[in-house]
Chain A
Amino acid sequence: MKHNKERYRLIVLKVNGEEHSVAVKDGETLLDVLRDKLRLTGTKKGCNLGVCGACTVIIDGEPKNSCLLLAASCEGTEITTIEGIASQGELHPVQQAFIYHGAVQCGFCTPGMILSVVALIKDNPNPTEAEIKEALDGNLCRCTGYADIIEAVKNWKKYLNKKEPPSSSYDLNKFSTVGKSQPRVDAAAKVTGHAKFTADYNFNNMLYGKILHSPISHGRIKMIDTSKAETLPGVKLILTGKNMPDITYGVSPARYDEHVLAKDRVRYVGDEVAAVIAVDEDTAERALGLIQVEYEELPAVFNPIEALKKDAPRLHEKYKNNINTKVDHHFGDVEKGFAEADFIREEEFVGNHVYQNPIEPHASIAYWENDGLTLVLYSSTQVPHYVHYMVARVLDIPLGKIRIIRPPVGGGFGGKAETTPLDLITAIASKKTGRPVKMVYSRKEMFLHGRGRHKQYMKFKMGVKKDGRITAFKSQIYLDGGAYSSFGVITAYYAGSMIPTLYFIPNYLYEGFRIMTNKPACGAMRGHGTPQPRFAFESLLSMIADDLGIDPIEIRLRNAMDPNTRTCNDLDVRSCEFKATLDEVKKKSRWKQKYGKLQPGKGIGIGCGGFVSGAGYAIYRGQVQRSSEKKRETFVKKSEFPHSNAIVKISEDGTAAVLLIQAAEIGQGSSTVLSQMCAEALGISLYRVRIRTEDSDISPLDLGAYSSRTTLMGGNAVVMASKDVIGKLFTSVSRVWNCNPQDLEARENQIFLKSDKSKNMAWEEAARKYFNDQGPLVGTGWYKPPEGLGGDYKGAAVGTSPAYSYGSSVCECCVDLETGKVKIKKFTDFHDCGTPINPQAVHGQVKGAIVMGAGETIMEDVLYDEKGNILNPNLHDYLLMTIKDSPEIFSGIVESYEPEGPYGAKEIGEGAILPVLAAVAHAIANATGVWIKELPITPEKILKALKKKF
């Protein structure tokens, strides 16, 4: 080890016009210096390998990736970061355009994106769409589908002088704030780089941790020698399974099967073996290389079908034949149903192993408050409450002694829906060292941590009448689970439970097996368990339509779900405008003129889907309490505690409403729609509402961003809390005016008599009056899903929800018949999401889901070698669609009113991806004449199929 002195040199960097002299190591990148030394954390680290563009800065007028630049080589240049784009408190017109055109979701890609745009328009103020795509193809966005970013850039000049942005055309007029395309409440912070994501936080005296991952796919740990690593200067703590709590954790209580660090066994390449805590990340990483581990290798198995064989290596003693979960559902009588059918078709489909790849890597920072008893944990999670619950379990301390802080999250898509080793190791290590500890995953570690989509092997059989009506459907699905349970039990149930929500299926049989293999655990990805079966089901339905000579949209209309129906598996559908979405996509895409009438190589296809608006039951049973204190709870058909809770607190001068709810904003826009509903219910303007969601000490429990639950459940709690405030306020005003509280109404910052609007009072005046007389004006609200949801069979809870969304998508594509290459040209999508609280946000979710879903269908797949190593754990080799690959998208809304939802709202976040996969697959089949039943549908597979056919 060389002496530190030699490793540093002093350089002067000119950033945003200011000169900084900094001591840097020769190997330090500009990105690290900007973030860690100059604390300009608006520049983000997404891949650290030159692919994602999140680290873009402008150097001497040109955008460059600061992760692939040595800081030392930047001396003498002019560097501009996102912090230097707004001037004198005025946003740059491009920043404004991003805000008003919905170009920001999670905001993690936004700084880099904006810098690329600023560099573009300097030379070319009126770029064409092609030029915009050219300039931005090195900036990946996982949320928006790029469409609104293109719109923002096209329109940036409109914001040169104007302070007031143009209003949107989608607005609903029934309400004041709800139903309007309001810009996101967090957009300004995100376009300026002020929004601090977890990894952007730094604390005094902070340490950094890194994990040693298993290099083998299956084995016993015989010995770990950390002595060499301990002597490395700067190393503060080394953790192994031995000095970790002897307790398992996970997602489903019956299947907690992970240890923070391996006890004596590793089950996949990447399993966590040890952790080093040191003065900086570099030192921690160096120390990892000095830890010696001896393994006794065990045979491994990577394919779920192989893993089922009698003599296959067993991953966990408790999962016989490696079967982690088995589902056996039979509703009606399929044999009878098939006997009644005029036509039966059976097909096998295979899905792919897709990884969420949010652009923000997972990060956690923990420290203990001065009492030494209260843990503060910053985590980039979509489920702060479940992290809270799980950390309490592993540390065995009450939840009340833990404060979870969830800063803005740079995308999750299910990949951040569980407690990570980072959460637990930072918590434990900060206790042991008495110092704040920070840990951030590299992109490769994100892949190793896994929790991506389960690859599913599906055998489907459908029987129909001559007219296409379904008489029976039978499915058998094998899910490749990876090495641990994660969400998998629920995934296996979801894979079957959501099939009957879209179409009437009188007789339905589903057999599901989730199987353990020596690979990273799979979890819940957008659409949780259902996109692949939906892809397969829809494909089969389209095949059958062709077999029978029925138009594929027509066959769907004949089977489509109606409102107020109980499905064969006992799910209660209330609002449902599925048929309307089919009619609309048919019209808008000019389906009739196109289907069956296009030239070879051109195709059009349809897919449909829908999703729950929040899971009917929480993931754990019983009440909110440390698990060691609870008895083993049996399942009851009601929620013990409210899933969403809100407090509305009015400022003492009455001009602001502070909305407190722990709802996890991960880019989907929950903070904005919840604020809108709060403003609507209070009768005040949106700008008067300020939402605080990040801190569990401040905001009451919300279960988080999963199962597309926040708009409906969080919204109901917010509306209730707001109404509580209004009730108190009206009572107080009614005393002054000598009327009944029921005679009053609040709208547009006024309180007035319903019968005589001239009798009015400023809202804030009324609120001040309340405060003067009665102290703080605070309202509380909560939401529990209805009692008794679901049937009485095993697993009936999964798939239950207060409401279901519906959607149809038409995809148009071109296929190069000589090479098999697919170009997705256009999407036409209509969704029934109930009342759209914020239409622009709805469209944003749809567009993002289309690009994600299309990429998933044609290019995404995590690949392994024969030893269980991931072959493409980076963004060079795991392909994400760029702006240049993204299609033109029309997103439309079919309104419905959901009685269970706040203002009639349901969901859009997850449901939006469901129609996409099959629409793409069908369009490709339509273009080529061959159905590819194995995802992803790569050019090579298409070509093979074409060669076989001709």
Chain B
Amino acid sequence: MIRDFVYSKAKTVKEALDLLEEHKENYKIICGGQSLLILMRQGLVAPANLIDIKSIEELSYINFKPKDGLKIGAATTHSDIEKSSSVKKHYPVLVSMEKNLASVQTRNWGTIGGNLAHGDPAGDPGPVFIALNATVKIANSERERSIPLEEFFIDYFETVLEDGELLLEVQFPVVPPRTATVYEKFNIIKNDQGIVSVAVSITMEKKGSSCKDARIVLGAAASIPIRAKKAEKLLIGQKLNNGLLEKIGKRASKEADPVADIHASEEYRRHLVEALTKRMVRKAWDQARKPAR
């Protein structure tokens, strides 16, 4: 049973922001509703007002410019990202990530903004976006601000979004040359939420074959997607060998702060972080070393 609420549909960002302002704390934004309606049906959330932003056209877009990078509007669906040719060409990891996110039906309606704002540490976009160094643009009726996605998540299902704020856009910088970003989630049935997931981005030095920059991001391994910064440090400036790979995996596993739940014990999650980190670092390394794809 979904409890009663008053429904309003915003057509523009301004309309939406005004509605948020008007209803102050007593509202929920709904976009695709693929997460929110589940919570509402279970009685976990019962807002008095529901503000629908799904049909705001100015929030649904995918723009790529070679100099600025990629911008995706918050109300863009997972399917649109999955099918976008510019995403496929310049950020292929997003396509493979989307393909394994939920089912076709959910991807056809669920949005990227909703996914991030939901703040589920097991969400797929979080870790991948952080590995790609993404930024989010947020606004309320008075101002706009941008923050790195890495700083967006606070705790389980909690983000920095304040009352009256709307997530507008996700921005991805241009991918540096000789960079590869890869992602894998571990689950029992395909397309389920990850029990643990790992995204890795590696950029190689111009000359030679050592690592210039690395980002290792862990999903479902803590209350938010986290970077395994100590593991990253082990790699930066180095050449990868099996011994180093082992160390990186172990370190990442130490940096994780997982919990036990019905799907896995804490110990097993740590093990998975190690196994997946090793796999993803190896994969990213091999891809980044390849001459221009």
**B33 contact from A62, A70, A821, A943, Cβ within 8 A:** A70
A236: which B residues are within 8 A, CB to CB? none
- Which residues of the partner chain A approach B268 to less than 8 Å between Cβ atoms? 939-940, 943
| A650 contacts across to B, CB distance below 8 A | none
B62 at the interface (CB under 8 A from A): no
Q: How far is the CA of A671 from the CA of B252 in the complex (A)?
A: 58
Given A48-B41, A137-B190, A882-B189, A70:B30 Cβ within 8 A:
yes
Chain B residues touching A, range:
35 or more
Complex contact B188–A879 (CB within 8 A): yes
Given A116-B104, A138-B102, does the pair A27, B2 have CB atoms closer than 8 Å?
yes
- At the interface, yes or no: A348 with Cβ under 8 Å from chain B? no
Residues from chain B with a CB closer than 8 A to the CB of A134 are 99, 104
Contact A63 B105 (CB under 8 A): yes
Partner of B5, one of A26, A871, A872, A938: A26
Residues from chain A with Cβ under 8 Å of B215 in the complex:
none
Chain-B contact segment, one of A280-288, A328-336, A579-587, A891-899: A280-288
Q: Which 10 A-B pairs give the minimum distances between C-beta atoms?
A: A138-B103, A27-B2, A26-B7, A884-B190, A62-B108, A285-B1, A65-B105, A940-B268, A138-B105, A818-B275
List, in ascending order, chain B residues with CB within 8 A of A64's CB: 105, 108-109
Contacts of A73 in B (CB 8 A): 9, 30, 33, 52, 54-55
Is B292 engaged at the interface, CB distance under 8 Å to the other chain?
no
Residue of A nearest to B272 (CB): A819
Give the total number of A-B pairs whose CB atoms are below 8 A apart: 122
Instruction: Determine how close the nearest CB of chain B comes to the CB of A431; give it in whole angstroms.
Output: 26
* Residue B186 lies at the interface, judged by CB distance under 8 Å to chain A: yes
Query: Least Cβ distance of B6 to chain A in Å?
Result: 6
Residue-wise interface mask of B (1-25) relative to A, using a CB-CB cutoff of 8 A (1 in contact, 0 not): 1111111010000000000000000
Decide: A871 and B188 in contact? CB cutoff 8 A.
no
Closest A residue to B6 by CB, please name it. A26
**B105-A863 in contact (CB<8A):** no
* Chain B residues packing against A (C-beta within 8 Å): 1-7, 9, 30, 33-34, 37-38, 40-41, 50, 52, 54-55, 79, 99, 102-106, 108-109, 186, 188-192, 262-265, 268, 271-272, 275-276, 279
**Supplied contacts A72-B52, A819-B272, A859-B188, 18 more A-B pairs, CB within 8 Å:** A26-B6, A48-B41, A49-B38, A49-B41, A50-B105, A53-B105, A65-B105, A65-B109, A69-B33, A73-B30, A73-B52, A116-B104, A134-B99, A135-B104, A282-B1, A858-B188, A882-B189, A885-B189
Chain B CB within 8 A of A2 CB? yes
Q: Does A808 contact B (CB under 8 A)?
A: no
Which of B3, B38, B54 interacts with A50 by CB under 8 Å?
B38
- Check if A56 is an interface residue, CB within 8 A of chain B: yes
- Do the beta carbons of A62 and B271 come within 8 Å of each other? no
Does A7 make an interface contact (CB < 8 A)? yes
Q: Are B105 and A56 in contact (CB under 8 A)?
A: yes
- Chain B CB within 8 A of A297 CB: no
* CB-nearest residue of chain A to B108: A62
Q: Tell me, in angstroms, the Cα distance from A139 to B105 when the chains sit together.
A: 9
Q: Give the chain A neighbours of B279 by CB distance below 8 A.
A: 818
Closest chain A residue to B33, Cβ basis? A68
Report the minimum CB–CB distance from B259 to chain A (whole Å). Answer: 14
Residue A14 is within 8 A (CB to CB) of chain B in the complex: no
* Chain A, Cβ-Cβ closest to B36: A68
Report B78 CB to chain A, min CB distance, Å.
11
Interface centre among A7, A56, A818, A858 (most CB of B within 10 A): A818
A648 in the interface, Cβ–Cβ < 8 Å?
Answer: no
What are 16 sample pairs from A and B whose C-beta atoms fall under 8 A apart?
A27-B40, A50-B105, A62-B108, A63-B104, A65-B106, A65-B109, A68-B38, A73-B9, A116-B104, A137-B190, A285-B1, A877-B263, A879-B189, A880-B189, A940-B265, A943-B271
Task: Check B264–A138 contact: CB distance below 8 A.
Answer: no
Within the complex, the shortest CB–CB distance from A1 to chain B, in Å, comes to 9
A819-B105 contact, Cβ under 8 Å, with A70-B33, A859-B188, A940-B264: no
Return chain A residues, CB-CB under 8 Å to B103. Answer: 53, 137-139
In angstroms, Cα B41 to Cα A285, docked, is: 12
| B5 adjacent to A859 (CB under 8 Å) | no
Q: Is A154 an interface residue (CB 8 A)?
A: no
Among B6, B37, B191, the most chain A Cβ lie within 10 Å of the Cβ of B37
Whether the pair B109, A68 counts as a contact (CB closer than 8 A) is yes
CB contacts (< 8 Å) of B188 on chain A: these are 821, 858-859, 879, 938-939
A881 at the interface (CB under 8 A from B): yes
Q: Which residues of A contact B99 (CB under 8 A)?
A: 134
Q: Which chain B residues lie closer than 8 Å to A881 at the CB level?
A: 189
A784 within 8 A of B: no
Q: A26-B4, A26-B7, A68-B38 are in contact. Are A885 and B105 (CB under 8 A)?
A: no
Segment 925-950 of A: residues with Cβ below 8 Å from B: 938-940, 943
